[in-house]
Chains A and B, each alone.
Chain A
């Protein structure tokens, strides 16, 4: 029991020390731009950092007009068509394909998408327009694993990591497991050539929400 050191206690100033390296660099940028009052007292200093950190983009860059493609299977980057998806089947872990460049938007795993085509589309349902095809973020809203199982009997996506399950017919709502937020969806259309096409970006930012 050699050296002793006094405790600084729980005064606000000591909270500044919680700021991690990432935040610190973020803060120095803010300060340089005359942003947050970084020289002020601990509480508001920390609060400014939290807000800025939370506003970080999720990394997803999928855009309206994008197609979808399998990557890394050596098959070349062809756009996935309605004809690739039999009723009841899913194609998991695909990436948005920018039709202008012919390149997959692979820079972030947050772009990963699962496609599914449900069988027995009820008549009058908006799903008739896409013949039962739907697109969801493949990133689990629990802790960010890839949602990697499709249960056709129940129309559910399932995530192996902690067994969260999401209802495909209810906008990806959580029906089981520790996730609390629904899976983001992507509105889609089938174009004249039968290519599955995004008509807008993700309904909310993909990634772990908990």
Chain B
């Protein structure tokens, strides 16, 4: 009798297991149209920041500041890969697409976590990966688009994962690679290449979404004779950097895409005298023609590795009694930039530092051009200590804007500085080899605490800051001590901000109005993934990837060197997983 009970229990388990492993019963895939990308439904997360403005905002409000304490995991999924899992789970009517390191794409049932298909790119064996990561897929019609580490774009069938086309837009052998999520606009897939540390010349390329044919290619650094070319000396423009690390944001009214650009290459500014347009800038690109219609250079002739990788957020805000059609950017250079967009030009409105910043002397009130403190500029033959560190006030992890609270949230590093200088002479560039102009030994030992903090006590190094979009003033900050804080943000209609990014592997929810931590949970690895939110059958979900790596790992290594023995960071294990949370039923 006993025995029979056991057997039937096993049968029951087997039946459940079989049911769980069945193919997803989606009865159709909803094509992603231009219209849907312009006005994404609340239940979906169709692009890396959820909308063209780059807000990182979900209007869903089932999960609120009051009930978030009841958030529990619904399903999780091991990717089987290591390194930085940074892409948001992107969701279209119950189907989730997740990009991982090694350029895998996994399609899953967003409700159950059942795998539908998986694409694995065969990367070249000799490829070197300075940033082994990916920031997400793009969706259009019935296809999924992925930018790859060997500088290609692939189009996959959304229902099968089968590759429809592949177009390579750069040459990985010279150090060009893509980590961004492609921007989909007006039937084009818009991607770009980075590789400033290898002396490449950044470029943005638009491909026809149907055929993969190149529609246009625009370099972020002008060739001789083009506007801005007189900001370069001689041949320096050919290896001048201006990497394209991150997806652009898009204004469908003007058909302009806004991309942030990387710093000048190599790092030391006296190797490339001049303003070095359009490095460390935002550029406005006409998506129809690829023409650069406007730009704002946040800082000229960069000396600090302050790539301005993130595109500004399209947020309209009032200033001096006027409504400004705005662009807002928390700069790696430590300033919060308030700009105005138009049909072409980008106008300067205002800028103020949001972290300790001692490299800029002042900002020109009219143009926004900074002047520099000379003793804070490292040169080929001169070392300098400067704040913020080479990772800046905010690196790639995106800010978020919540129209309900009217606040902009910034995941920032505070109280961290760098000290380095050049190698004395500039080596000849060997294509595909690191070309920094700063000895790597020096970079290994370059992180410093700010002189202003008492290092004998735990030092706040991660700071989640909230700014009122109307006044430009800081409303609250929530700080984390002695930790890297690589925390892409999600904010929701339920008055919440979600963030991970710390070395203790926590993923947290904060009250969006006050910054108070309301919920947190331990994850298998550190969370540097972009969180997203969606709903299926009336249930709101929060989704994020755990998987520590890349710059969070680098900062962890350098921070270990400056922390005293009794405050060393915990080990952060590697290994990626997708997590989906909902309210306890």
Q: Mark A residues whose CB is within 8 Å of B.
A: 1-11, 14-15, 17-18, 20-23, 53, 56, 58-59, 72, 93, 108-110, 143-146, 148-151, 158, 160-163, 176-178, 207-208, 210
- Min distance, Cβ B406 to any Cβ of chain A, angstroms: 31
Q: Is the CB of A21 within 8 A of B166?
A: yes
Q: CB within 8 Å of A: which of B172-205?
A: none
Q: Is the CB of B163 within 8 A of A20?
A: yes
Does B115 touch A at the CB level, under 8 Å? yes
Measured between alpha carbons, how far is A14 from B467 in the docked complex, in Å?
48
Q: Chain B residues near A146: list those with CB within 8 A.
A: 128, 433-434
Measured between alpha carbons, how far is A3 from B33 in the docked complex, in Å?
10
Q: Is the CB of B31 within 8 A of A161?
A: no
Using CB atoms, name the residue of chain B closest to A148: B440
Q: CB within 8 Å of A: which of B553-577?
A: 553-554, 557-558, 574
- Min distance, Cβ B26 to any Cβ of chain A, angstroms: 5
- Min distance, Cβ A17 to any Cβ of chain B, angstroms: 4
Q: List 14 A-B contacts (CB under 8 A).
A: A4-B27, A4-B28, A6-B27, A8-B160, A10-B114, A20-B122, A21-B122, A72-B430, A145-B128, A145-B130, A151-B441, A158-B440, A178-B574, A210-B82
- Min distance, Cβ A168 to any Cβ of chain B, angstroms: 15
Say what secondary structure dominates the interface of chain A. loop
Q: Chain B residues near A144: list those with CB within 8 A.
A: 126-129
A1-B549 CB under 8 A given contacts A10-B116, A72-B430: no
Measured between alpha carbons, how far is A105 from B141 in the docked complex, in Å?
48
Q: Is the CB of A4 within 8 A of B129?
A: no
Q: Is the CB of A160 within 8 A of B129?
A: no
Q: CB within 8 Å of A: which of B401-451?
A: 428, 430, 432-434, 440-441, 443-444
Does B36 touch A at the CB level, under 8 Å? yes
Q: Chain B residues near A161: list those with CB within 8 A.
A: 128-130
Does B121 touch A at the CB level, under 8 Å? yes
Q: Is the CB of A160 within 8 A of B440?
A: yes
Q: Is the CB of A160 within 8 A of B444?
A: yes
Find B434's partner among A6, A145, A163, A178 (CB 8 Å cutoff).
Answer: A145
Find B115's partner among A6, A10, A151, A207 (CB 8 Å cutoff).
Answer: A10
A21-B129 CB under 8 A given contacts A10-B23, A160-B434: no
Q: Is the CB of B163 within 8 A of A21?
A: yes
Q: Chain B residues near A5: list those with CB within 8 A.
A: 28-29, 31, 142, 158-159
Q: Is the CB of B557 within 8 A of A177?
A: yes
Q: Is the CB of A53 within 8 A of B122?
A: yes
Q: Is the CB of B549 within 8 A of A178?
A: yes
Given contacts A7-B28, A207-B126, 10 further A-B contacts (CB under 8 A): A2-B31, A5-B142, A5-B159, A7-B23, A10-B23, A15-B118, A59-B125, A143-B129, A144-B127, A208-B125
Does B38 touch A at the CB level, under 8 Å? no
Q: Is the CB of B126 within 8 A of A59?
A: yes
Interface hub of A1, A108, A150 (most chain B Cβ within 10 A): A1
- Min distance, Cβ A2 to any Cβ of chain B, angstroms: 5
- Min distance, Cβ B261 to any Cβ of chain A, angstroms: 22
Q: Is the CB of B444 within 8 A of A163?
A: yes
Q: Is the CB of A7 within 8 A of B29?
A: yes
Measured between alpha carbons, how far is A30 from B142 in the docked complex, in Å?
33
Q: Is the CB of B82 within 8 A of A148?
A: no
Does B162 touch A at the CB level, under 8 Å? yes
Does B119 touch A at the CB level, under 8 Å? yes
Does B117 touch A at the CB level, under 8 Å? yes
Does B382 touch A at the CB level, under 8 Å? no
- Min distance, Cβ A70 to any Cβ of chain B, angstroms: 12
Measured between alpha carbons, how far is A145 from B126 in the docked complex, in Å?
9
Using CB atoms, name the residue of chain B closest to A22: B122
Q: Is the CB of B440 within 8 A of A149?
A: yes
- Min distance, Cβ B98 to any Cβ of chain A, angstroms: 15
Q: Is the CB of B159 within 8 A of A7?
A: yes
A7-B26 CB under 8 A given contacts A14-B160, A160-B434: yes
Does B83 touch A at the CB level, under 8 Å? yes
Q: Is the CB of B125 within 8 A of A10?
A: no
- Min distance, Cβ B506 to any Cβ of chain A, angstroms: 21
Q: Is the CB of A4 within 8 A of B30?
A: yes
- Min distance, Cβ B152 to any Cβ of chain A, angstroms: 11
Measured between alpha carbons, how far is A150 from B441 in the docked complex, in Å?
8
Q: Is the CB of A6 within 8 A of B554?
A: no
Measured between alpha carbons, how far is A108 from B549 in the docked complex, in Å?
27
Interface hub of A18, A158, A208 (most chain B Cβ within 10 A): A18
- Min distance, Cβ B265 to any Cβ of chain A, angstroms: 15
Q: Is the CB of B553 within 8 A of A18?
A: no
Does B550 touch A at the CB level, under 8 Å? yes
Measured between alpha carbons, how far is A178 from B30 in the docked complex, in Å?
40
Interface string of B26-61 (1 = CB under 8 A from A): 111111010010000000000000000000000000
Q: Chain B residues near A22: list those with CB within 8 A.
A: 122
Measured between alpha carbons, how far is A158 from B557 in the docked complex, in Å?
12
Q: Is the CB of A9 within 8 A of B24?
A: yes
- Min distance, Cβ B574 to any Cβ of chain A, angstroms: 6
Q: Chain A residues near B158: list those with CB within 8 A.
A: 5
Does B212 touch A at the CB level, under 8 Å? no
Q: Chain B residues near A4: list those with CB within 8 A.
A: 27-31
Q: Chain B residues near A17: list those with CB within 8 A.
A: 117, 157, 160-163
Q: CB within 8 Å of A: which of B122-176?
A: 122, 125-130, 132, 141-142, 157-163, 166
Measured between alpha carbons, how far is A110 from B127 in the docked complex, in Å?
10
- Min distance, Cβ B558 to any Cβ of chain A, angstroms: 7
- Min distance, Cβ B40 to any Cβ of chain A, angstroms: 12
- Min distance, Cβ B194 to any Cβ of chain A, angstroms: 14
Does B120 touch A at the CB level, under 8 Å? yes
Q: Is the CB of B550 within 8 A of A162?
A: yes
Q: Is the CB of B125 within 8 A of A56?
A: yes
Interface hub of A22, A53, A160, A207 (most chain B Cβ within 10 A): A160
Q: Is the CB of A1 within 8 A of B126?
A: no
Q: Chain B residues near A210: list those with CB within 8 A.
A: 82-83
Q: Chain A residues near B93: list those with CB within 8 A.
A: 1
Find B117's partner among A6, A10, A20, A148 (CB 8 Å cutoff).
Answer: A10
Measured between alpha carbons, how far is A77 from B428 in the docked complex, in Å?
18
Using CB atoms, name the residue of chain A closest to B114: A10
Measured between alpha carbons, how far is A70 from B126 in the docked complex, in Å?
20
Q: Chain A residues near B554: list those with CB within 8 A.
A: 162-163
Measured between alpha carbons, how far is A20 from B121 in the docked complex, in Å?
7
Q: Is the CB of A7 within 8 A of B116?
A: yes
Q: Chain B residues near A148: list those with CB within 8 A.
A: 434, 440
